[in-house]
Each structure stands twice: as C-alpha cells, then as structure tokens.
C-alpha cells in the first residue's frame, strides 16, 4: 500500500500532468492532418527530416498554434486513403486536412476516373467533418505517355475547382524540372532526397498558410 505522503505526491503529479495537457490543448488552435503516401511518410530518409516534420517545426517557429498529425503510409493509394480517412477524422478531429495521394494510383495504372472519385470522396468527407481540405497534386515522368500525364496532372486542379478547395498542383515543382533534377532524388528516381524536403514544404506553405 502507498503511504499518505507518496499517494499525495502521485496525485499532485497527476494533477500537474492534467493541467499541463489542458494548457497545451488550450494553446493549440487546431490540428493539421496529413494523409499521404511515401512522399509524406519520409521514405528512404531519416525520421524528422521530411516535409511534414518540417511543417510542424515551421508552425512552432512562427507561433502558429497548430499540431500536426502525419497519417501518411508508403505505397498508399487514393482508395487506401479513402478507406482509412473516417477513423482518422474521428480520432484527431483536425481543423485542416492535407490530401497528398494519387501518385501510386498512376504507377499502378489505375483509371483516372477511379482516382478522381476517391479524391472527391475524401474532400467531401473532410468538409463534412468540419475540416478545411487542401489537395496536393503530382505529375508523372514522360515515359507514362504525354496524354495520360497531362490528364493526371490536371485531375487535381479539376477536383479542387469542382469542390472549391485550395490545391498545390505539383508537390515536387521546385526541383523536378530543374536541369540537375536527378541530384534531388534517391537512386529510384521517384523519392526525393532529404535535401529536397524543405523545398517541398516551401511549395505547400504559401497555400496552407492562407488557410490557417
């Protein structure tokens, strides 16, 4: 059995912990939930060096009281994101939702109509849960065919326009079309190196900041 003094000390510690948690919650304006694929899940780079982790650091540095939840999974598709979105919204109750999915749909040759339907469903689910969704788009290498590539790249802006939500057209825009583009990617030429992730954040940041 606990002595009275030890019991009182534990109660005091617990109350302090609850007070601290309450103060943190009171000081937090909202939560940014990121549902993405390997580009957001820090594939092939050190933990804490991806653009989502850098986003959390920037929010803190600028005194913007938002938490960040990274629910990204390497290899995920829009169908996978759609299937797991409802529990994520229920659990985290985010104020903002960043949807960074679609690239793996194209790599697997999924119909564009399928990707569009899933993105629309995710945006609408986010709205229904009281979040402010942001779509983050992707583009494909030329070897996937010019016509398919154009249609895929346009899909994100089409969905954003139809659903009246903000969009970042191309997450890798800052370096993917540079003459030295290869030097910004891992050997698979798909996943960016850690040095590219600050540029990815800089691409998302102007649009996201206006939403906060």
Catalytic residues: 38, 188, 191
Biggest CA-to-CA distance, the chain: 76
**CA of 152: how far to CAs of 50, 53, 124, 146, 165, in Å?**
25, 27, 20, 10, 18
User: CA-CA distance, 144 to 150, in Å (whole number)?
Assistant: 10
User: What is the total residue count of the chain?
Assistant: 212
- Could you tell me where the beta strands, DSSP code E, fall in the chain? 30-36, 66-70, 96-100, 132-136, 167-168
| Side-chain half-sphere CA neighbours of 164 within 13 A | 1
Instruction: Give, as one character, the DSSP assignment of residue 193.
Output: P
In 3-state terms, what secondary structure has residue 34? strand
Give CA 26 to chain center in angstroms: 24
* Bridge partner residues of 33 (DSSP): 69, 97
- Residue 127: other Cβ atoms inside 10 A: 15
State both tokens at 115: 């990707």
């Amino acid at each position: 059995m606990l002595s009275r003094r030890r019991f009182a000390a534990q109660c005091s510690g617990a109350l302090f912990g609850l007070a601290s948690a309450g103060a943190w919650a009171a000081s937090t304006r909202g939560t940014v939930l990121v549902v993405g694929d390997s580009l957001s899940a820090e594939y092939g780079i050190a933990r804490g060096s991806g653009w989502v982790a850098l986003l959390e650091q920037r929010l803190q540095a600028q005194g913007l009281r938002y938490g960040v939840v990274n629910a990204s999974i390497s290899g995920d598709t829009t169908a996978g994101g759609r299937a797991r979105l409802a529990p994520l919204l229920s659990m985290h109750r985010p104020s903002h939702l960043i949807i960074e999915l679609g690239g793996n749909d194209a790599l697997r040759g999924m119909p564009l109509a399928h990707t569009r339907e899933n993105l629309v469903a995710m945006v609408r689910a986010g709205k229904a849960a009281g979040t402010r969704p942001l779509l983050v788009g992707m583009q494909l290498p030329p070897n996937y065919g010019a016509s398919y590539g154009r249609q895929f790249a346009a899909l994100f802006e089409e969905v954003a326009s139809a659903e009246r939500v903000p969009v970042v057209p191309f997450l890798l825009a800052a370096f993917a079309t540079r003459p030295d583009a290869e030097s910004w990617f891992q050997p698979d030429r798909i996943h960016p190196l850690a040095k590219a992730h600050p540029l990815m954040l800089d691409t998302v940041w102007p649009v996201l900041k206006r939403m906060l």
